[in-house]
A and B are shown apart, each in its own frame.
Chain A
Amino acid sequence: NAGVMQNPRHLVRRRGQEARLRCSPMKGHSHVYWYRQLPEEGLKFMVYLQKENIIDESGMPKERFSAEFPKEGPSILRIQQVVRGDSAAYFCASSPLRSRGSYNEQFFGPGTRLTVL
């Protein structure tokens, strides 16, 4: 059973370009979360998605950032018109469909390290 997969692992963009980060959850997992980690800082929640639904996007910047998790294919975090401050590691995590009484154990992908020149 493959773990959470993210690609690309490293992404370099110039200011003003678009960045697309992909996350494939573990097999059987239907919940995806995106986190941003600035150098030597903690994990900041960005967005929580289920298939075709955004459940909670309270951590997403209001502009330039969007996320989706289509019925087929990976979840995508899209950053438009990137700026230097967007340089960070972006991790996604997945968890299984919760049954009553279960808890939200999350498994992380290897991350995408975005560098904006």
Chain B
Amino acid sequence: GENVEQHPSTLSVQEGDSAVIKCTYSDSASNYFPWYKQELGKRPQLIIDIRSNVGEKKDQRIAVTLNKTAKHFSLHITETQPEDSAVYFCAASSPTSYDKVIFGPGTSLSVIP
């Protein structure tokens, strides 16, 4: 089945700097890659997703890139703000596994004011 790895597990950046989180997946049939943000004690919330037919997607300060050949995808947050501090999860979904979503282990991002 699908296996999603995520790095780094923790990340500290200064406010205003950029943050990059990288993920790899194992199932070459995966075609949907969502990113979730989870604040302490809260539910995971979808912040952006990318489908396998595009290589990049941007939404304001957040961008995701996908390299299907290498089975890599990344989240980029620019001009970070303290409210970006949270745990971020990447995930992958494959039609060969009933489209269930498999999550990476998470990255704890701290933005230092």
Q: How far is the CA of A114 from the CA of B36 in the complex (A)?
A: 22
Asked whether, in the complex, the Cβ of B34 is within 8 Å of the Cβ of A108, the reply is no
Interface size class of B (residues with CB under 8 A): 20 to 34
What residue in chain B is nearest A33 (Cβ atoms)? Answer: B100
A105 touching B103 in the complex, CB below 8 Å, given contacts A43-B44, A48-B98: no
Do the beta carbons of A108 and B45 come within 8 Å of each other? yes
Interface presence of B80 (CB below 8 A): no
Question: Once the chains are docked, how many angstroms separate the CA of A73 from the CA of B19?
Answer: 43
Query: What residues of B have a CB within 8 angstroms of the CB of A42 in the complex?
Result: 89, 103-106
Closest residue of B by beta carbon distance from A48? B100
A104 contacts partner chain B, Cβ-Cβ < 8 Å: yes
Contacting pair A55 B98 (CB below 8 A): yes
For the complex, is A25 an interface residue (Cβ under 8 Å from B)? no
Task: Determine the chain B residues whose CB is within 8 A of the CB of A35 once the complex forms.
Answer: 103
A103 to B30, CA, bound (A): 11
Q: Please, which residues of chain B bring their CB within 8 A of the CB of A110? A: 42-43
Contacts between the two chains (Cβ within 8 Å), count: 55
Docked complex Cα distance between A48 and B94 (Å):
14
Query: A33-B101, A48-B98, A56-B98 are contacts. A91–B93 as well, Cβ < 8 Å?
Result: no
Q: How far is the CA of A43 from the CA of B4 in the complex (A)?
A: 12
Point out the residues of chain A lying under 8 angstroms from B104, CB to CB: 42
- In Å, the complex CA distance between A56 and B96 comes to 12
Residues from chain A with a CB closer than 8 A to the CB of B102 are: 45
- Pick the residue among A56, A58, A93, A103 that contacts B51 (CB under 8 A): A103
Which residues of chain B are near A107, meaning CB under 8 Å? 46
Q: Say yes or no: A104 contacts B44, CB within 8 Å.
A: no
Closest residue on chain B to residue A92 by CB atoms: B43
Report if A106 contacts B (CB, 8 A): yes
Q: Are B105 and A103 in contact (CB under 8 A)?
A: no
Complex Cα distance, B4 from A44, in Å, reads 11
Residues of A within 8 A of B (CB): 33, 35, 41-45, 48, 55-56, 58, 91, 93, 98, 103-111
